[in-house]
Amino acid sequence: MSLGDSDNEMRILVVEDDKDLNRQLASALRDEQYSVDVAFDGEEGHFLGDTEPYDVIVLDLGLPELDGVTVLKRWRADGRMTPVLILTARDAWSEKVAGFDAGADDYVTKPFRIEEVLARIRALIRRASGHAASELSCGGVVLDTRAGRVSVDGAPVTLTAHEFKVISYLMHHRDEVVSRTELTEHIYEQDFDRDSNTIEVFVGRLRRKLPKGLIQTVRGLGYRLSEPESESNKT
């Protein structure tokens, strides 16, 4: 499988009780290579957001069992800082205010175009990882988060969807040690039979496709992506 013009890498939770809308959002996000979990009421959504590591959560405010503002307030009160994009009803300015006061990072008003939701999610991920541009680069490797492409010294590299998710996560956490467990959790969806050994396989393949020394093994801890120490100086 080669990666075409898809987008991203990370785990997203969609909490929306409208089944059609939930399905549309989940499918559009999966098309962009995100791993997606879904919830159809506030309790389920709160539980998932509380127990699973997501990179972004899309949260409808009008939800059964537990309303979205309450869900969000509980996450924030418990120290969960995941970026949250709320979905609000048209013209309900008071909902937006309540949502922001509860700790929302951004909002989209219904009805929305899916492209706008996707763009706002990309922006939230970039902001969360401290990068303002849609391109991340390190040691001659450039990752275009918008186009879902990776190149080395300007030459495109063909990656599988899983390889892309791994490199993308590492690029977003440049110079940090990322454990295999963390990588596994961010790459597979909830119900997938997780096997952290496969991460080694993906990293091995990436190392053959990318500059030597870019992905370092930190013994007993995981991996770290940083500028390879070498005589060449590409920046």
Q: Contact residues for Ca ion (CB under 5 A)?
A: 17, 60, 62
Q: Closer to Ca ion at the Cβ: 60 or 105?
A: 60
Question: Smallest gap, in angstroms, from Cβ of residue 18 to Ca ion?
Answer: 5
Q: Closer to Ca ion at the Cβ: 9 or 16?
A: 16
Q: Closer to Ca ion at the Cβ: 53 or 62?
A: 62
Strand pairing partners for 39? 15
Q: Closer to Ca ion at the Cβ: 15 or 225?
A: 15
Pairing of strands 84-88, 56-60: parallel
Is 76 within 8 Å of 50 (Cβ atoms)?
no
Question: Smallest gap, in angstroms, from Cβ of residue 91 to Ca ion?
Answer: 15
Q: Closer to Ca ion at the Cβ: 94 or 197?
A: 94
Question: Smallest gap, in angstroms, from Cβ of residue 118 to Ca ion?
Answer: 20
Place of tokens 């053959």: 208
Question: Smallest gap, in angstroms, from Cβ of residue 67 to Ca ion?
Answer: 9
* Rounded-to-integer distance, Cα 191 and Cα 34, Å: 15
* Rounded-to-integer distance, Cα 172 and Cα 138, Å: 10
Question: Smallest gap, in angstroms, from Cβ of residue 76 to Ca ion?
Answer: 21
Strand pairing partners for 60? 87
Among candidates 104, 204, 103, which has minimal Cα distance to 163?
204
Helix (H) or strand (E) holding 106: strand 106-109
Helix (H) or strand (E) holding 152: strand 149-152
Q: Which residue is nearest to Ca ion (CB)?
A: 62
